[in-house]
Amino acid sequence: AQSVAQPEDQVNVAEGNPLTVKCTYSVSGNPYLFWYVQYPNRGLQFLLKYITGDNLVKGSYGFEAEFNKSQTSFHLKKPSALVSDSALYFCAVRGDTGNQFYFGTGTSLTVIP
Amino acid sequence: NAGVTQTPKFRILKIGQSMTLQCAQDMNHNYMYWYRQDPGMGLKLIYYSVGAGITDKGEVPNGYNVSRSTTEDFPLRLELAAPSQTSVYFCASSYSRDSYNEQFFGPGTRLTVL
């Protein structure tokens, strides 16, 4: 079965500090991994994805994510958090067969000024 | 490009009423999806379509129906609304069957069933 786990419902970080939002996955075959961000009363916006190749993926707004195959993880990171990064973050996975994306339950990130 | 559009933005229904949530995309995407988002539950897939005339059930299809007569449109139908269908509904699309293509989401429809 394919699934995604985001173990933290809420992450708080001070502005200017590094942030990490955690994601682990389970999938048959090769994983394709995605991060999305959702601002209040808005749809999800694509941040970045891992397909193959370099384990460190860079995306929008200074975010990056590290793919770790042995730990089946795809944690989202940013070196210096901004107050405007406060939002709900979703990790998603799709296997190399099948038509569906599987989403985590989301992590609410609050950046404290 | 308008991307993925959804109407209405908000709706209140009485138990037993019917309605159609509209979704359209202008990116010529083959794949389209309907999700519902409940607090603390993430996104649950209701139905998806891999092209005009082809639809399939997702994780939570009961109480819903879909059709896909054109590439652009993918309406979601609620026949007999129930309080359990109170949720935020998102439509999404992606370019092709390739697994590495990300989804594009609409702004959502907030539905309340009383």
Q: How many domains does the structure of chain A reveal? A: 1
Residue B90, chain A, CB below 8 Å: the answer is yes
Q: Which of A36, A43, A104 sits opposite B106 (nearest CB)?
A: A43
Q: List Cβ neighbours of B20 (8 Å cut-off, separation of 6 or more).
A: B75, B76, B77, B78
Question: Distance between CA A51 and CA A7 in Å, rounded?
Answer: 23
Domain ranges of chain B: 4-95
Q: Does B97 score more than 80 pLDDT?
A: no
Architecture of domain B4-95: Sandwich (2.60)
Supply the CATH number for residue A14's domain: 2.60.40.10
Residue A95, chain B, CB below 8 Å: the answer is yes
Q: Which tens digits make up the pLDDT trace of A43-102? A: 899 999 998 888 999 998 999 999 999 999 999 999 999 999 999 999 999 876 767 889
Q: Which of A32, A90, A104 sits opposite B100 (nearest CB)?
A: A32
Q: Which tens digits make up the pLDDT trace of B1-14? A: 789 999 999 999 99
For residue A81, the enclosing domain spans: 3-112
